[in-house]
Amino acid sequence: MVKAQSSSGERDAIDMLMEDHKRVQKLLKDFEKVERDDAHAVRELVETACMELQIHSMLEEEIFYPAVRSQVADDDGDRQDLLNEAEVEHEAIDELIAKLQELEADDPMYCAHFAVVGEYVKHHIKEEEKELFPEVKKMKTLDLQQIAEDMRLRREELFAQIEEGESETEKESASPQEPDATLAEVDSEEDSEDAQEQVDITRTRH
């Protein structure tokens, strides 16, 4: 991997991932304080946390883990195990989030599912920060600045896709219901034809 130009104050990949961790940890603390009967507030907080988690997960799975694994020898069992466990934890969290997204915020199981997601995430963060990241820092051939730049660009792409999706949803909600308008026109034409038939019948009788 080509080395990127970096300054002493530039964030590297681990700095970036740890900032993600801090944002998610804050959201988990906010969840503990939110009123459970305020379904709107609960859903807004949970959806924000899940979006952060999903983007973070994609950055690690698509960029960070492969880059680290490329520098780990096949016979380096300890480091291979750390990476394997991290990926399995991601899968478990993703499955819980998928189940959570099928529920409504006022469902009794909604908060329970997210609470379990939170426990998994806390464990995952602890494992990465205490075990995986220190090992990664020892890999002198790994360009953490370049990995950070790759993740930053990918994050921008993901947020752009999310914004585009939200924009399309808003347009669909705001657009007129053309099928209904078409049906209304058909009904109007049928009513006119019925009225004409009544007139024709009346004329015939006279």
118 and 189 inside one domain: no
Same domain? For 140 and 163 the reply is yes
pTM: 0.76
85 by Cβ neighbours in 10 Å (0-12 / 13-18 / 19+) ranks as middle
What local confidence, expressed as pLDDT, does residue 185 receive? 55
CB burial class (10 A; 0-12, 13-18, 19+) of residue 49? buried
pLDDT of residue 173: 67
Where the chain has pLDDT below 50, the residues are 1-8, 183, 199, 201-202, 204-206
Question: Same domain for 47 and 112?
Answer: yes
pLDDT at 168: 73
Domain of residue 126 covers 13-175
Angle subtended at Cα 59 by Cα 56 and Cα 63, rounded to the nearest 5 degrees: 155
Query: Are residue 138 and residue 192 in the same domain, yes or no?
Result: no
pLDDT confidence of residue 24: 97
Q: Are residues 111 and 62 located together in one domain of the fold?
A: yes
Residue 85 sits in the same domain as residue 148 = yes
- Does a structural domain hold residue 7? no
